[in-house]
């Protein structure tokens, strides 16, 4: 049975010494290999960016065409006011606190238009 080397000392110093010994064993690429591989990686990055950009442009164009088609075929229309009436079986007891008015069963919602909008009028008074 082989025994592992046991170092006695500072673990941080041992770690750094072992790391530098391992780095000496590494076969580093030559300058030409490093430049060639770097250019290869950059080329793939540019190619991927172009492909993703083209796909984004195609999908954006298609989405815009679908939105344009949907609004021309089925344009938005004016929605009439909705009147809701609670069924007679759904009456709940009303508890008034203070001087509040009880709610009514039927509620009508009407939109504000130019004809129904309140108009601010200026009044002037003169002192005599």
Over residues 78-118, the pLDDT tens digits come to 667 677 766 666 666 666 566 656 555 555 666 666 666 66
DSSP-assigned letter for residue 89: G
Kindly tell me if the per-residue pLDDT of 2 is higher than 80.
no
Distance, in Å, from the CA atom of 38 to the CA atom of 125, rounded to the nearest integer, reads: 84
Query: What pTM was estimated for this model as a whole?
Result: 0.42
pLDDT-derived band of residue 1, with 50, 70 and 90 as boundaries? very low
Joined tokens for residue 47? 């190619």
Q: Give pLDDT tens digits for 24-72.
A: 999 989 999 999 999 999 999 999 999 999 999 999 999 999 988 888 8
In terms of residues, how long is the chain? Answer: 128
């Amino acid at each position: 049975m082989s025994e592992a080397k046991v170092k006695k000392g500072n673990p941080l110093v041992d770690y750094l010494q072992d790391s530098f010994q391992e780095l000496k064993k590494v076969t580093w690429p030559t300058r030409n290999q490093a430049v060639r591989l770097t250019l290869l990686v950059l080329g793939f990055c540019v190619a991927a960016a172009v492909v993703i950009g083209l796909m984004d442009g195609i999908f954006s164009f298609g989405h815009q065409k679908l939105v344009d088609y949907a609004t021309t075929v089925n344009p938005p229309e004016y929605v009439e006011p909705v009147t809701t009436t609670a069924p007679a079986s759904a009456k709940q007891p009303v508890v008034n606190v203070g001087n509040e008015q009880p709610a009514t069963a039927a509620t009508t919602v009407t939109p504000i238009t130019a004809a129904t909008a309140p108009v601010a009028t200026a009044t002037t008074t003169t002192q005599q």
